[in-house]
Amino acid sequence: MPTFRTYDGTELAYHVMGEGVPLICLPGGAMRAGAYLGDLGGLSAVRQLVVLDLRGTGGSAVPDDVSTYRCDRLVEDVEALRRHLDLERIDLLAHSAAGNLAALYAARHPRALRSLILVAPGTQATGFAFVEREAREAAALRSSEPWYAQALPALEEIWAGHLTDELRAAARPFLYGRWDAAAQAHAALSAVQINAEAARGHYGPGAFDPPATVAALREFPAPVLVLAGEYDGVTTPDRAAELAALFPESEFAVQRGAGHFPWLDDPGAFVRTLTAFLDPDVHSVQAGGIRLAYRVWGDPSAPPVVLAHGRCGDSATWTTVAERLAARHRVYALDFRGHGLSDWTGRYSFELFRDDLHAFLEARNLSGATVVGHSMGGAAAYLLAGRQPGLIGRLVIEEAPPPFPLDPPRTPVEHPGGELDFDWPVVPSINAQLNEPDPQGHERLGEITAPTLVIGGGPRSQIVQEDLARMARQIPGSRLVTINAGHLVHTARPEEFLAALRSFGVG
């Protein structure tokens, strides 16, 4: 375990996991050894995690002066770690009570931070008080749990100010989205991982100056992600949202079904959210209650083009086409729900993907944009164009399944095994709709008013080309172009695909 000497000579330890650009991680507790963070649900596959053991915890030494446990005095330990790692600027993640430490660090050393991630963060440093009503509402969400009746009295005692180790242990199920064996094992380590003396000194008098901290954070120059758990009664989503609103450039996300340790409750959701935030080429927007990730290319003032991917794909499949279109357009490519780095909701349909596209266009103020949709994304696009005439400026439908029943129908499918970069329920859900499509999709083809180009992949495609031509005939004034490339026209034959777009006035 590597160590370094901090400003007062105390030897501090840190843990390194994974490879790549370092992400410094501060554990909460308060004053809990960093081991409880683990690899943050697999985030070490994306970034190198550098987990600091705060002084007096884990592998770090007990300081000679115990008054240095106070939160504001830990700030220079973080700065000493940055200097030890010889990093000009850092990405910093803080969990729970360490959210206060991170806020103080950001206020004191704003230029040392490239980005800041606050997970279920404490808010004492900014003066946002605990609101019992919100905590009760969060607890009530768990009323159907088998442990609820037994754990609630302990929580009531804690709210009344009677905090003991026994009460804390009895109320721990409320901290987790799932009180399963993994959560119970994680919770059982809390008592031995927390330095009780350090925790008492952490919030000592003078630790926080909320007005000064808030004033500094309102000028903070780096991007910030604040992530809350839906069920978290320690830092409720409302408190976390209030904290996020302080920062000039912030994203706020609520992880569904999660408590105070969201990387344990749903590692995939946690890692996708943080990966999207940490990747400079990926942006996120809350659209229709869903966090949608997207990529963007080109001049912001150029005419907009929105690219919608097919089933089991994501925004990155458009990179070659997007880079070429960006010469004359502002290009957006989104990840639909259940795909890539967007939220995986578990429920999927063509109509929900249509709603994703609609919400994205509205959230980014892209009314009148050209929309290019491949396969499933094309179906979402033509459903939206028929339902909302005038919203889409020009429409390109590439190899989209026409709204006619498949003959023969798709047969049941099984999960292929292993990790997937999309949510498996997408496949059986969409197969069921391909077999029995909503008749309104067929009826609304005639209501599409946007100039429309339909691109088919020819005889090598899995889409019946006669059905594609039939669909094109039902869209008023549409044009049909065939490129003998199979189903993946824009990836297999990008030059011919772009030529077709140019002939349509796009590109």
Q: What is the value of pTM for the model shown?
A: 0.93
**Which pLDDT value is given to residue 406?**
87
What pLDDT shows up at residue 422? Answer: 97
Would you state the pLDDT for residue 259? Answer: 98
Give me 85's structure tokens: 């790692």
Q: Are strands 90-95 and 113-119 parallel, antiparallel or unpaired?
A: parallel
Strands 11-17 and 48-52: antiparallel
User: What local confidence, expressed as pLDDT, does residue 45 receive?
Assistant: 96
Q: How many CB atoms are closer than 10 A to CB 439?
A: 11
Enter the DSSP assignment of 61: P
- Give the H or E element holding residue 397: strand 394-398
Q: Please report the pLDDT score of residue 26 as a whole number.
A: 98
How confident is the model at residue 165, as a pLDDT? 86
Can you list the residues of the chain whose pLDDT is less than 70? none
Predicted confidence at residue 454, as pLDDT, reads: 98
Q: Using CA atoms, how far apart are residues 28 and 121, in angstroms rounded to an integer? A: 9
Give pLDDT, residue 442. Answer: 78
